Amino acid sequence: MKTIGHFVDNKPVPGASGRYGPVFDPATGARAARVALASAAEVDAAVAAARAAHRSWGGTSLARRTGLLFRYRELLVARRDELARLITAEHGKVHADALGEVARGLEIVELACAIPEKLKGELSTQVSTGVDVASIRQPLGVVAGVTPFNFPAMVPLWMFPVAIACGNTFVLKPSEKDPSAGLRLAELAAEAGFPEGVLNVVNGDREAVERLLAHPDVAAVSFVGSTPVARAIQRGAVEHGKRVQALGGAKNHMLVLPDADLDVAADAAVSAAYGSAGERCMAVSVVVAVGDETADALVAAVAERARALVIGPGDDPASEMGPLITAEHREKVASYVRGAAAQGAEVVVDGTGLTVPGHEDGFFLGVSLLDRVSPGMDAYRDEIFGPVLCVVRAADYDEAVALINSSPWGNGSAVFTRDGGTARRFQLEVESGMVGVNVPIPVPVGYHSFGGWKESLFGDHHIYGNDGVRFYTRGKVITTRWPDPAESAVNLGFPSHT
């Protein structure tokens, strides 16, 4: 069986801990590979490589850094199909969706290519007589990234291109469930010409992450994953004096008002709820329909579309939705559908009985639609992270927004309406970091920043865009004077400006 190791100093490094995790092909259910799970000592070796590299990388000219990033961008464009196939093989999502993931990751490499513009400092001349003040931003040193299974290429690309462009060196700990895409991204960075130690990958689980959090030479940690782990990562990083951004889970609501075009809303709800089998942090998992008339029509339109979806292996061009990541996760998702009726929901579409001919052992689950869901139910309360869409009925706009704002999460929210005034109210009143107006998955472009509110993000910075640049740099303010020695004198007063 194939064994997946680490990548340090631009070289593959076999695992040395003797611990391995399984990597499945979710479409067949077969164990496709095993991935090495790093020990603390192996993490230390990767951090040492990154630290050694930072000594020269931190001072490497912007011209050289961006030259390498442009070359990296070209390599990723040339290999996007190969990367998408790696994603599909271990994650299961369909090829077109995997290509979309690579494309959204590429946006961040393109942002990183523009880093000289982002790192331009500020200069004030003659703030006092003969005194100038400059503000500059400098890299932190070694930074680490810990990423989830659901975007094995895009989420690493949210992090390391910006970090490296800013002059840091990076240690990536991808998800152990689908590690190959992250590893391939590092191999391609080496091929692009990035010096040894600039981008390193250690595969592993909690043990590796805890070492990264505790390591004295790691200056900052970017994390994307579930809320309980994000919360623990923030605490661990702060305890060890590190800068941290920890993006967590979500339960994204889509508000549909009675004046919305219900066909447009149904298309959007189906795409955003069931795309990537619902394993997206920006998936729509709750539709809040205002008024029974809206809800009845919308549920019918969504159900019709949901029943028509083609579910099958991700490498079959006919498939619109692939399998879930593991058998355990599929069972967990199915349990929410099975328990929904007993809690009072109406199971309009039940996908739990699906089998895909020829792929009976794959981790497939059909799509489900639950109507008349209420906040007390398990399906509403928890992040299911699967192809299950809940519909909650609200009497009016105010009740709907109050419901959305009572959620502990605040990643993305969307409103579907033809009324600009109500949409504007929603933008200002909803407690989410990212808002869509007639856009169900409002993932910001690379030159804006991505981040949720409340339990969807622990830390002060959103990821990529200007917030990414701020996160991966620290400020320095330089006050300069070139005094005439003839005018120099002792003065014990606090410096004031003249």
If one asks whether residue 452 binds ligand NAD (CB under 6 A), the answer comes out as: yes
If one asks whether residue 205 binds ligand NAD (CB under 6 A), the answer comes out as: yes
If one asks whether residue 179 binds ligand NAD (CB under 6 A), the answer comes out as: no
Choosing from 206, 418, 476, 481, the residue that interacts with ligand NAD (CB under 6 A) is 206
If one asks whether residue 180 binds ligand NAD (CB under 6 A), the answer comes out as: no
H or E segment and range at residue 331: helix 327-340
If one asks whether residue 331 binds ligand NAD (CB under 6 A), the answer comes out as: no
If one asks whether residue 249 binds ligand NAD (CB under 6 A), the answer comes out as: yes
Give the DSSP letter string of 138-185.
EE-SEEEEE--SS-TTHHHHHHHHHHHHTT-EEEEE--TTS-HHHHHH
403, amino acid identity: L
Tell me which stretch binds ligand NAD (CB under 6 A): 187-195, 248-256, 292-300, 369-377: 248-256
**What number of residues does the chain have?**
498
C-alpha–C-alpha distance, residues 263 and 297, integer Å: 9
Closest residue to ligand NAD using C-beta atoms: 225
Residues binding ligand NAD: what is the number (CB under 6 A)?
A: 28
C-alpha–C-alpha distance, residues 55 and 64, integer Å: 15
If one asks whether residue 97 binds ligand NAD (CB under 6 A), the answer comes out as: no
Choosing from 385, 426, 464, 471, the residue that interacts with ligand NAD (CB under 6 A) is 385
Site string for ligand NAD, 410-449 (x = CB under 6 A): -x--------------------------------------
Q: Which residue has the tokens 């994204």?
A: 252
C-alpha–C-alpha distance, residues 396 and 40, integer Å: 54
If one asks whether residue 467 binds ligand NAD (CB under 6 A), the answer comes out as: no
- Locate 341 and state its tokens: 């009726």
If one asks whether residue 207 binds ligand NAD (CB under 6 A), the answer comes out as: no
Give the DSSP letter string of 435-457.
EEES-SS-PPPTTS-B--EETTE
Q: Are residues 365 and 356 in contact, defined by beta-carbon separation less than 8 angstroms?
A: no
C-alpha–C-alpha distance, residues 467 and 485, integer Å: 43
Q: How far is the CB of 6 from ligand NAD (least distance, A)?
A: 14
Active site residue 166: no
Tell me which stretch binds ligand NAD (CB under 6 A): 7-15, 32-40, 226-234, 394-402: 226-234
Site string for ligand NAD, 127-166 (x = CB under 6 A): -------------------xxxxxx---x-----------
Q: Which residue has the tokens 């399984």?
A: 22
Tell me which stretch binds ligand NAD (CB under 6 A): 220-228, 295-303, 350-358, 368-376: 220-228
Tell me which stretch binds ligand NAD (CB under 6 A): 103-111, 203-211, 254-262, 372-380: 203-211
Going by C-alpha positions, the residue among 324, 102, 109 that lies closest to residue 199 is 109
Q: Are residues 108 and 446 in contact, defined by beta-carbon separation less than 8 angstroms?
A: yes
If one asks whether residue 278 binds ligand NAD (CB under 6 A), the answer comes out as: no
Tell me which stretch binds ligand NAD (CB under 6 A): 104-112, 116-124, 181-189, 205-213: 205-213
If one asks whether residue 247 binds ligand NAD (CB under 6 A), the answer comes out as: yes
Q: Are residues 30 and 155 in contact, defined by beta-carbon separation less than 8 angstroms?
A: no
Q: How far is the CB of 172 from ligand NAD (least distance, A)?
A: 10
Q: Which residue has the tokens 């990541």?
A: 325
Choosing from 383, 389, 390, 469, the residue that interacts with ligand NAD (CB under 6 A) is 383
Q: Are residues 301 and 264 in contact, defined by beta-carbon separation less than 8 angstroms?
A: no
Q: How far is the CB of 21 from ligand NAD (least distance, A)?
A: 9
C-alpha–C-alpha distance, residues 324 and 362, integer Å: 9
Whose Cβ is closer to ligand NAD: residue 36's or residue 348's? 36
Whose Cβ is closer to ligand NAD: residue 150's or residue 169's? 150
277 by Cβ neighbours in 10 Å (0-12 / 13-18 / 19+) ranks as buried
- Locate 320 and state its tokens: 């619109």
Which sequence positions are flagged as catalytic? 281
Binding site for ligand NAD (CB under 6 A): 146-151, 155, 173, 175-176, 205-206, 209, 224-226, 229, 232, 247-250, 281, 383, 385, 411, 452, 456
